[in-house]
Structure 1
């Protein structure tokens, strides 16, 4: 199979109902304090991965954790995924710092995230 490269899991977002309590649990789990600590988002950097806590599921409406795979070319990967049968959920958008994110759903409705850092 040819196509764009997937470099591995980069980010996992977790919807949470109580951000302060969730922050305490994840800080205890990871053994570090968050690097981003805002009312709308708490993020932890651990190794090469980012763990994000999104209160109320955020604007994405998350109802379960979403894993974001890092890719070298997000538009090409979206084309590959939809050609393989995935359905576009959220088109690629810049979430700051040149990071592009998008989501698709697989044939069973599971949400798959992809991201590209510039």
Structure 2
């Protein structure tokens, strides 16, 4: 069984979003880079992605941890989802992909 371990918000103004989320979450980010700001709150990863809108994210997107990214993509496409972001290496041996269900809800997948 896979589990949601990361929630990524696409943001247009990273500095403004960082102020809001640092206040909201009550912790400083563990990663603070121009391409990604990440927080860990009780084991839950909350992240800000200034490139998220360009990647097709339309809002906060939950990322499910999976053992076999390609197989999970294939099964979700067969079930009626569409791929909105093809598998992409994001560093550290991790790959991500994003699909949309029939209503346009974003489904993030993460392996590694």
Superposed CA offset, 1:12-40 (max 9, x none): 11122322221122112222100111222
2:31 aligns with: 36
2:90 aligns with: 95
3-state SS in 1 of match to 2:91: coil
Mapping for residues 36-115 of structure 1, pairs under 5 Å: 36-55=31-50, 57=52, 59-115=54-110
Q: Once the 2 structures are TM-superposed, how far is the Cα of residue 56 of structure 1 from its aligned partner? A: 5.6
Q: Once the 2 structures are TM-superposed, how far is the Cα of residue 116 of structure 1 from its aligned partner? A: 0.9
**Residue 22 of structure 1 pairs with residue 17 of structure 2:** yes
Q: Once the 2 structures are TM-superposed, how far is the Cα of residue 58 of structure 1 from its aligned partner? A: 5.3
Q: Does structure 2 conserve the Cα–Cα contact (< 8 Å) formed by 1:19 and 1:53?
A: yes
Q: Once the 2 structures are TM-superposed, how far is the Cα of residue 75 of structure 1 from its aligned partner? A: 1.2
| Aligned residues between the structures | 112
Question: Which consecutive unaligned segments of at least 5 residues does structure 1 have?
Answer: none
Structure 1 residues 58, 110: closer, same or farther in 2, change over 3 A?
A: closer
Superposed CA offset, 1:44-77 (max 9, x none): 1223221111226354143311111111211111
Task: Please give the TM-score of this superposition, normalised by the length of structure 2.
Answer: 0.87
Task: Please give the TM-score of this superposition, normalised by the length of structure 1.
Answer: 0.83
3-state SS in 2 of match to 1:43: strand
Q: Does structure 2 conserve the Cα–Cα contact (< 8 Å) formed by 1:40 and 1:58?
A: no
Question: Which consecutive unaligned segments of at least 5 residues does structure 2 have?
Answer: none
